[in-house]
Amino acid sequence: MATTTVTRENVEAKVVEAIAELGPDIEQVTPYATFESLDVDSLDLVELTQVVEEEFGVVIPNEAAAKLTTVGDAIEYVVAHGS
Amino acid sequence: MAAERPGPTARSATGSALVTGASRGIGAAVAATLAAEGWPVGVSYRTDSEAADAVVAGIEARGGRAMALAGDVAGSDTAGNLIDALEERFGPVLVLVNNAGVRADGLALSIRDEEWDRVIETNLTGTFRLTRRALRPMLKARYGRIVNVASIVGPRANPGQANYAASKAGVIGMTRTVAAEVARRGVTVNAVAPGLVDTDMTEDLSPDLLDAVPARRAGTPEEVAACVRFLASEEAAYVTGATLAVDGGLSA
């Protein structure tokens, strides 16, 4: 399934793009932005984890997803857990 | 004749519908009804490929589109396999009707583990797994209709069906919660709760049961399918988490 190599650049680009598709303006989606400030809710986060799983083959379990508070947290998680 | 068939709606032009347990009974009637609405329909079945092919042929003869899909919904990979195959041919699943169900009746004292597990795994776990898989394309599309075929014995008592009643009560509870989770994405999740409906599944039941039905007759698969058709329609956008009894007044 995974199609893209896990590099920080690839992950950041995809995560930012996926979050922007959920509603927020892409300029607001910085690594320091919190999901709360971007109005990204729990259902949005599940959708984000599915994009990440399809793109990079990295599964973010519910318990881990619950601890992600910023865009950067999500990027770090994928980079750390990618092959 | 073709002119009488409604043209595809905007939704049915971009996606597909999956009906499980669609080779006969309520499922076959639902598949035919959704196809008549313009949906390309996946006719999923477990054992009777001839019957499923006949349902598909009937739909095609009336100008609709359908494909037969083999799979036991109790299997852990079945949801993915069914939906992948359907989406490859007809596009993202935007309507899911979880109809596949089995009975293994007996008083609670005599229900064996295997009979308990088989009924729960098909009726409840199978419904959950298909729902979980179908939510992906639906959330992406910001549109979806899930209709679960429960039973009037979910919210009521029916001696001899502890396993079946538990599975159907579970389906109704799951319907409500998933409905609340995804409502803000334009996806609705509802259930119908048929009473005594004239199908293979009920043919062994005593005719005396009809005396308890205020309508004094069994329902038809088409009467259940009409309710599913409504809940699966765009017009039903503001109905979610509901369970619609289709029982001739049995639970009234």
In tens, the pLDDT along A13-53 reads 999 999 998 888 999 999 999 999 999 998 999 999 999 99
Q: Catalytic residue at A39?
A: no
Is residue B243 within a helix (H) or strand (E), and if so which, with residue range? strand B243-246
Q: Given this model, what pLDDT does residue B201 score?
A: 83
Q: Is residue B24 within 8 Å of residue B51, measured between CB atoms? A: yes
Q: Given this model, what pLDDT does residue A59 score?
A: 94
Per-residue pLDDT of chain B (252 residues; tens, 9 = 90+): 444 445 556 788 889 999 999 999 999 999 999 999 999 999 999 999 999 999 999 999 999 999 999 999 999 999 999 999 999 999 999 999 999 999 999 999 999 999 999 999 999 999 999 999 999 999 999 999 999 999 999 988 899 999 999 999 999 999 999 999 999 999 999 999 999 999 988 888 777 888 889 999 999 999 999 999 999 999 999 999 999 999 999 999
Instruction: Give the closest-approach CA distance of B121 to chain A in angstroms.
Output: 23
A73 pLDDT exceeds 50? yes
Length of chain B measured in residues: 252
Q: Given this model, what pLDDT does residue A18 score?
A: 93
Q: Is A62 within 8 Å of chain B by CB?
A: no
Question: Cβ contacts (< 8 Å) between B136 and chain A: which residues?
Answer: 50
Boundaries of domain holding B170? 2-246
Is B251 within the bounds of a domain? no
Q: Given this model, what pLDDT does residue B200 score?
A: 87
Q: Given this model, what pLDDT does residue A23 score?
A: 86
Which entry of A39, A41, A44, A73 is annotated as an active-site residue?
A41
Tokens standing for A70?
A: 């910023």
Number of folded domains that form chain B: 1
Q: Residue B127 contacts by C-beta under 8 Å, 6 or more apart in sequence?
A: B73, B98, B148, B171, B174
Q: Given this model, what pLDDT does residue B9 score?
A: 60
Q: Given this model, what pLDDT does residue B205 score?
A: 79
Q: Residue B215 contacts by C-beta under 8 Å, 6 or more apart in sequence?
A: B248, B249
Give backbone dihedrals phi and psi of B145, rounded to 5 degrees, phi first: -135, 115
Separation of alpha carbons B43 and B53, rounded Å:
9
Separation of alpha carbons B54 and B50, rounded Å:
6
Q: Is B185 within 8 Å of chain A by CB?
A: yes
Write the single-letter amino acid at B126: G
Question: What CATH number should be reported for the domain whose range is A8-81?
Answer: 1.10.1200.10
Q: Given this model, what pLDDT does residue B204 score?
A: 83
Question: Cβ contacts (< 8 Å) between A50 and chain B: which residues?
Answer: 136
Is B252 within the bounds of a domain? no
Is B54 within the bounds of a domain? yes
Q: Given this model, what pLDDT does residue B247 score?
A: 96
> How many degrees, rounded to 5, is the angle at CA B82 between CA B77 and CA B87?
130
Phi-psi region of B95 (alpha: psi -120 to 50; beta: other; left: phi over 0): beta
B75-113 residues labelled b (16+ CB within 10 A) or e (exposed): beebbeebbebbbeebbbbbbbbbbbbbbbbeeeeebee
Q: How many CB atoms sit inside 10 A of residue A50's CB?
A: 17
Q: Given this model, what pLDDT does residue B84 score?
A: 98
CATH number (domain holding residue B144): 3.40.50.720
Q: Please state at what angle helix B113-120 crosses helix B162-182, rounded to 10 degrees.
A: 30
Instruction: Give the closest-approach CA distance of A40 to chain B in angstroms.
Output: 13
Separation of alpha carbons B131 and B134, rounded Å:
5
Is B199 within the bounds of a domain? yes
Q: Given this model, what pLDDT does residue B246 score?
A: 98
